[in-house]
A and B are shown apart, each in its own frame.
Chain A
Amino acid sequence: MTAATAHGAAVVEPAESPLTPESWGKLGMWIFLAGDAVGFGTLLAGYGAMRATSADWPNPYEVLGINLTAIMTFLLICSSVTMVKALEWLGKGDRRRAINFLLYTAAGGAIFVSLQAYEWTHLIHRGLLINGNPWGASLFGTSFFLVTGFHGLHVTAGVIYLVSMVRWVLNRPDPAASYNGVEILGLYWHFVDLVWIMVFTFLYLL
């Protein structure tokens, strides 16, 4: 087959350059993330449409409060940094430091989800429910829980993904052998951070 390519098709019509020479997995993750982003984009566009057509939409940052959420945003940004540091150490061949940073990242995600659980409990006690609230349009609660819940689910999945990848890296004695896998994991984790930047702006700040 190689001979045929070399003598035939490749000469007449050069083969397409590979999208990601290092890994098809990276392309796969990007395509998955694009699909996932359409899901989040649809949720946020729907949120905008519901809010624009509502006469009594509550003022989000007065109802939800943004102090805790600002800390959560900062936490996710920090966890993105520990994620890139993990990959950097793996690239330098230091598996132990890389694993430490992967665990810091997982801890950041776990704290984020815990803070979100605390925030939800607090808001539910104040009367924000999925089907109504004391401040105005009932869809406010519906969309809030739907969007932040969908994102929280992604963070939870990310923490599980991170912890299972720690095992995966440990099973490979050569750090270079796990570089691609950890880079793909990083793509997912940064995507979760990126989506939170949008969610924080649209649901809390606007």
Chain B
Amino acid sequence: MAAVTQPRVELLYWDGCPSHPQALVDLRAAMADAGLDPDAVEVREVDTEHGAADERFVGSPTVRVDGADVDPPPEAEPAGLTCRVYRLRDGRFSPVPDPAVLREALTDAMRRSAL
């Protein structure tokens, strides 16, 4: 059986939006649930429009697992310093990703790494 490697988990945020502390709590809980080290998450602030363009940052918070957005935005979504709008699985608007989406992104990444 192949060893499972810890995926690279990133949380990108802009301080002008108050949602990133909740996103970090949810993300760390999802990592712990998946048997991953919750402290391994890389937290990075994006604080300029230039930085947002460089990072393809479409809003705060953005969570990436092995470089892939856990809730991919539309292709045409512009980069910029803004609060990101998520839709939960039940259809509600939310400032943070659905915790179920976080868990699935992590388990999918672990499954891929085990192949």
Same assembly: no
Mark B residues whose CB is within 8 Å of A: none
